[in-house]
Structure 1
């Protein structure tokens, strides 16, 4: 069942990325399985834990970690859980029980409700807002949960992360934050850097795509999404191509350079830059 769910997520993300660009492939979420992620999950306040001691049904407890990061358990009293992984907490409770009335206790912990690790997704996604993560989570999984990219989404994602980093900046509260930038084009090369995995407290912003404008003798003049490598000819095609009276070979490109408008007579194979205006004039004949 879990395998099918993971497969469905992968297919969904392929589809979402296909909307963004036909050349971006599916990613692989490292080598961690669902069960491995659950075992490595770092527990925090408000998480709900299902704790069982093998062969001792009366020791079964469902507990919520307090805001102070702890809970109570029989024969152990106060357990400081926050900051420990599921595996570490199992070992801790087993050790405490073995110091009392139990011989070689086998403790199993399952996180029944994940509440402590949260991220915020903003910008060009269908459902911006706060989302709960379950440990090591790929950034595209979170974007999938947020409904995927909108049609106006660009290829750049910015992550604001509290902590120390070479790219750290001081925020308005005086805390040190790291500003990380993710270029979706890098996924084409199978880049698996850790920055593609979100962390508790991250704010993720999906930028709006750059735009270009095609006017004049074209069938659908207007504003269009800019993509890296887009040519003048391709831009005119986005606008439905030239009309019967249009002369695409004499197109004029207007571009802002150093605060001033510059008019260029480009080749149809020339690349287009963000915010360029392409005007297709009438044919002489």
Structure 2
């Protein structure tokens, strides 16, 4: 089931989550690339540790930090250079990179991200708070940022792919 889709040069077709419209890919994101009328060039690809998608014929395409639209345009441009006359490329984001949760939860660890995930949902995925957990604030380190930021815990506080959530210990 796809989370977001891009058909170049049209706009990104996404769900209700505004994150998906300008979502930039990172290591471990999985995408489906479809080159219309060229099944041998289509397939499912994972952004590798170098931040690229390894495509048939054209080699590595830089993916990290780019949107699905940017990548589709890059693939089209490379295919146009002697491989396909008028390439049309569609990109679906199949899975996002995981999020991490640690601290005062029952099962800290790495979990798959799903669209629209909130901190409450992430805590539920980690089987809830421990009895010592601070339930009024939380620390979130966004992917690509240097340090965690303390945030007030609200029911609609969303997390993003690659985030690290730390549930602190309450003080009596």
Normalised TM-score (structure 1): 0.45
Deviations 1:225-278 (A, max 9, x none): xxxxxxxxxxxxxxxxxxxxxxxxxxxxxxxxxxxxxxxxxxxxxxxxxx5xxx
The yes-or-no answer on 1:145 pairing with 2:106 is: no
Specify the structure having the higher radius of gyration (Cα): 1
Runs of 4+ with deviation above 6 angstroms = none
Correspondence 1:153-164 to 2 at 5 A: 153-161=133-141
Where does structure 2 lack aligned partners over 5 or more consecutive residues? 3-13
RMSD over aligned Cα, in angstroms?
3.5
**Equivalent position of 1:180 in the other structure:** 150
Larger displacement relative to structure 2 (33-42 or 82-91): 33-42
Larger relative helix fraction? 1
**Equivalent position of 2:100 in the other structure:** 119
Where does structure 1 lack aligned partners over 5 or more consecutive residues? 3-31, 165-175, 211-274, 276-285
Give me the whole-angstrom Cα distance separating, in 2, the residues matched to 1:57 and 1:35.
Answer: 30
The yes-or-no answer on 1:132 pairing with 2:112 is: yes
Match of 2:167 among 206, 211, 216: 206
Correspondence 1:89-100 to 2 at 5 A: 89-100=71-82
CA contact (8 A) 2:45 2:53 kept: yes
Larger relative CO (CA 8 A, sep 6+): 1 or 2?
2
Aligned length: 160
Give me the whole-angstrom Cα distance separating, in 2, the residues matched to 1:181 and 1:47.
Answer: 26
| Structure 2 CA distance for partners of 1:204 and 1:63, relative to 1, 3 Å | closer
Normalised TM-score (structure 2): 0.68
